[in-house]
Amino acid sequence: MNYLLPSIRLWLITLLVCVVGYAALLFGFAQTVTPFRANGSIIEVGGRTVGSELVAQKFTAARYFWPRPSAVDYDGMGAGGSNLSPTSEDLAARAAETVARYGATAGNPVPADLVAASGGGLDPHISLAGALYQVDRVAMARNMDSASVRDLVRETAFSPGWIFAPEPIVNVLQLNLALDRRGE
């Protein structure tokens, strides 16, 4: 009984410092240094929220660029992979369906990132090659010149890690919004 009150005090101090204080410190730092990211990178168009820069969305219309497949159907509340084995018949069937959806052939194979889901199922980016692979379909659906769509893809591409990750990627939502802004 002699140790109960000091133990409770120590627990309370530890809780306040390590949980409340640390969380408040991180929240304040994030709001000061990167408020857009700290608040979810929410993108608004015309006063209406259209999505987050950090979470993939399901685009299925031919006039839009499609993101990577998602094992969680793009549900931000349930991020996760499929946990299917590379030898799984279900995984092979899903991949075959995705490849057929893109109209890939042996002479025109689809980039791997358009067929394989990301680990969390919510990756908002595709490779530059994945975006360029979709240019003709999007241009045809929008009655646009393929060259202008290709130029837009290249304009929105960026290297996320500079020299450490130089492979360009494209944010699918940002690219689709840029297409919509063109009004075509």
Find out whether 151 and 138 touch, Cβ atoms under 8 Å.
no
Going by C-alpha positions, the residue among 65, 88, 35 that lies closest to residue 137 is 65
In this structure, what token pair is assigned to residue 113?
């990132």
Find out whether 59 and 141 touch, Cβ atoms under 8 Å.
no
Cα–Cα distance measured from residue 182 to residue 184, given in angstroms and rounded to the nearest whole number = 6
Indicate the domain borders of the chain.
1-39, 41-181
Each residue's pLDDT, cut to its tens digit, for the chain (184 residues) gives 788 999 999 999 999 999 999 999 999 999 999 998 888 888 998 889 998 898 999 999 999 999 999 888 888 787 777 788 888 898 889 889 999 999 988 899 999 999 988 888 888 999 999 999 999 999 999 999 999 999 999 999 999 888 888 899 999 999 999 999 986 5
The confidence score (pLDDT) of residue 184 equals: 52
Cβ-based burial of 59 (10 A; exposed 0-12, middle 13-18, buried ≥19): middle
The DSSP output letter for 112 is G
In this structure, what token pair is assigned to residue 145?
């010149």
Q: Where are the beta strands (DSSP E) in the chain?
A: 42-45, 48-52, 125-127, 169-171
Helix and strand numbers (H, E) in the chain are 8, 4
Cα–Cα distance measured from residue 164 to residue 171, given in angstroms and rounded to the nearest whole number = 19
The confidence score (pLDDT) of residue 164 equals: 87
pTM over the 0.85 mark = no
